[in-house]
Amino acid sequence: MENSNSNPNQIKNRSKPHAILVAHPLQGHLIPSVQLAIKLASNNFSITFINAENIHHQITLSNTTNHSHDDIFAEARRNSPSLDIDYMTVSDGLPVGFDRSLNHDQWVGATIHCFPAHVEVAVAKIVRSKPAVCCLIADSYSVWASKLAKKYGLFYVSFWTESAMVLDFYFHLHLLKEFGHIGPGSSGCKDAIIDYIPGISSIKRTDLTSYLQEEDLTTMAHQSIFPSIEDAKRAEFILANTVHELEAQPISAIQTQTPFYAIGPLFPIEFSTSPVATSLWAESDCITWLDSKPPGSVLYVSFGSYAHISKEELEEIANGIKLSGVNFLWVVRPDMVSSDDSDPLPIGFRDEVNGRGMIVTWTNQKAVLSHRATGGFLTHCGWNSTLESIWYEVPFLCFPLLTDQFTNRKLIVDDWKIGCNLCEEKPLKRMEVLQKIKDLMIGGKLGFELKDNIKRIKQLLENATKGSSEKNVHSFFEELNVAIEKKSLAC
Ligand code: UDP
């Protein structure tokens, strides 16, 4: 939405609004939430940031260098004393050490039923002590936020951390149901083309999010997603980590229903390291190893923080990488197959690739992507990874596993043409892995095309940071101020 002629100085002169920002307790949601808090606080907002206790605990355990263990923003405030961000943690109702990855449904249940109760107690306390609190910013995957905001007389600002296209699907579930393309019996029309969603000219059913491709729409995940999207529709504002120029049509379609502001990409542009610790696993330093490799020679492999992969697929990928002979840096999370199997790589693999392969449990991804040695990214296509890899102009090899990653693949490969697929043949075979890695890393024409295209898409992102996204942030401030004034006149 580019709908304001706002003047940032005018905004600065007004009294400082206070927002409570609740981060959804997942790595891929926490990272942009922290950046949103910093962005708002840098624009004269006062923020109270609420993080889940277990997430805080895991960050603290993983981060041995940051000594501000009670407050992840302490160092950022030391660097920038005017940054007005308070920090607090609340429980999600489960013991801190409970294995949420292994017990996914129990965790989802806790985020629906217990986490909001703890958030409410915190919100009540903040509202009592800080009269300038005007809005509750919560992740769009929160089922509880609009009700809580209303109860405490706050505006609900919903924070969408994925592509606008995905939100557009979720906003038009009724159409997908009407056409029989989701829900019971819908897998019979696997090859269906969907051409009736406003803002999306045509898409295959297989490009919907994984949850929309399932027959059973009553799982715990669905019990969380569907009500949370209904709740996001009640928000006074939706802020999104996307860019108008990347997704103009789905954004316009959403804007016919709700005030939606594309303000991405939300990551620290100048620095590959943020002063706020957010990693849930200890970061291995890969820079010295990368320094020893020729420019563009290293394939970076990571499947994000959340999705699991089958042992069979992992073995095929490992063997394909081995056969390709390329240098690689692979993030193998301890729970990547299951926390019951903390070293799922084929026996002997580590020795066989010694020297040309580095395997770590977690790293600083932005530092890796920004390194000159990195030439390609074999990825699950998480939205943060997608934006980061575009930013550093690293082309993609796409292996989507879950949720929005299937839609992101479509955007990356079919629309923007900045990556290729590693998901056409099922089951995955090592020879396909080998061929696709060669195409990406060594493959002459294709490699050049992808690099050219990614430069163009990166430019859109870069322009947005000083153009449309910046303007949208200020539009949001303006509209929020108008809403606050209207409300105070009505009281
Ligand atoms: N990430 C990281 N180190 C790693 C792997 C991932 O810092 O070793 C970060 C990555 O930079 C991104 C986030 O974790 O910001 C993952 O988010 P994404 O949306 O890509 O995937 P998700 O984890 O939500 O599936």
> pLDDT for 91-144, tens place per residue?
999 999 999 999 999 999 999 999 999 999 999 999 999 988 999 999 999 999
- Going by alpha carbons, the residue nearest to atom 24 of ligand 1 is 28
Taking the CA of residue 361 as reference, the ligand 1 atom at the shortest distance is: 8
State the distance from the centre of ligand 1 to the C-alpha of 300, rounded, in angstroms.
13
Query: How many whole angstroms from 304 Cα to the centroid of ligand 1?
Result: 4
Residue 244 in any domain: the answer is yes
pLDDT at 341: 87
Q: Indicate whether 223 and 299 sit together in one domain.
A: no
pLDDT digits (tens, 9 = 90+) for 211-238: 999 999 999 999 999 999 999 999 999 9
Q: Is the pLDDT at 11 greater than 60, yes or no?
A: no
Q: Considering only CA atoms, which residue is closest to atom 17 of ligand 1?
A: 28
In a domain, 133, yes or no: yes
What pLDDT was estimated at residue 272?
Answer: 58
Tens digit of each residue's pLDDT (9 = 90 or more) over 252-303: 999 999 999 999 999 876 665 678 999 999 999 999 999 999 999 999 999 9
Looking at the structure, do residues 175 and 128 belong to the same domain, yes or no? yes
Read off the pLDDT of each residue in 50-71 and give the average, rounded to a whole number.
Answer: 88
Q: Would you say residue 386 has pLDDT above 80?
A: yes
For residue 116, being part of any structural domain is answered with: yes
Residue 449 covered by a domain:
no
Residues 185 and 220 in one domain: yes
Of the listed ranges 76-80, 367-371, 386-390, the least confidently predicted one is: 76-80
- Separation CA 156–CA 71 (nearest Å): 25
Work out the pLDDT band at 68, boundaries 50, 70, 90: low
Per-residue confidence band for 5, with pLDDT thresholds at 50, 70 and 90: very low
Ligand 1 shell residues, CB under 6 Å:
27-28, 31, 279, 302, 304-307, 331, 362-366, 382-385, 388
Distance (Å, whole) CA 460 – CA 446:
21
Same domain? 268 vs 183:
yes
Same domain, 233 and 206: yes
Same domain, 222 and 326: no
Dist. CA 192 → ligand 1 center (Å): 31
User: Which residues, at least 6 apart from 156, have a Cβ–Cβ distance to it below 8 Å?
Assistant: 135, 136, 138, 145, 146, 149, 150, 234, 235, 236, 237
User: 380 C-alpha to center of ligand 1: Å?
Assistant: 10
Nearest to 41 by CA among 3, 6, 76, 66: 76
Q: Which domain holds residue 373?
A: 287-442
Indicate whether 177 and 114 sit together in one domain.
Answer: yes
Is 279 among the domain residues? no
Residue 280 lies in a domain: no
24 and 77 housed in the same domain: yes
Q: How many structural domains compose the chain?
A: 2
CATH of the domain at 80: 3.40.50.2000
Torsion of CA 469, 473, 475, 477, to 10 degrees: 180
Same domain, 331 and 246: no
Which pLDDT band holds residue 67 (cuts at 50, 70, 90)? low
Atom 18 of ligand 1, nearest CA residue: 382
Residues 307 and 232 in one domain: no
Here the tokens at position 437 are 């890695």
Q: Report how far ligand 1's centroid is from the alpha carbon of 29 (Å).
A: 9
The pLDDT of 151-156, averaged and rounded, is 97
Whether residue 85 is predicted with pLDDT greater than 90 in this model: the reply is: yes
307 and 264 belong to one structural domain: no
Residue 452 within a domain: no
Same domain assignment for residues 476 and 438: no
**Backbone φ and ψ of 233, nearest 5°:** -65, -25
Question: Cα of 302 to ligand 1 centre, how many Å?
Answer: 8
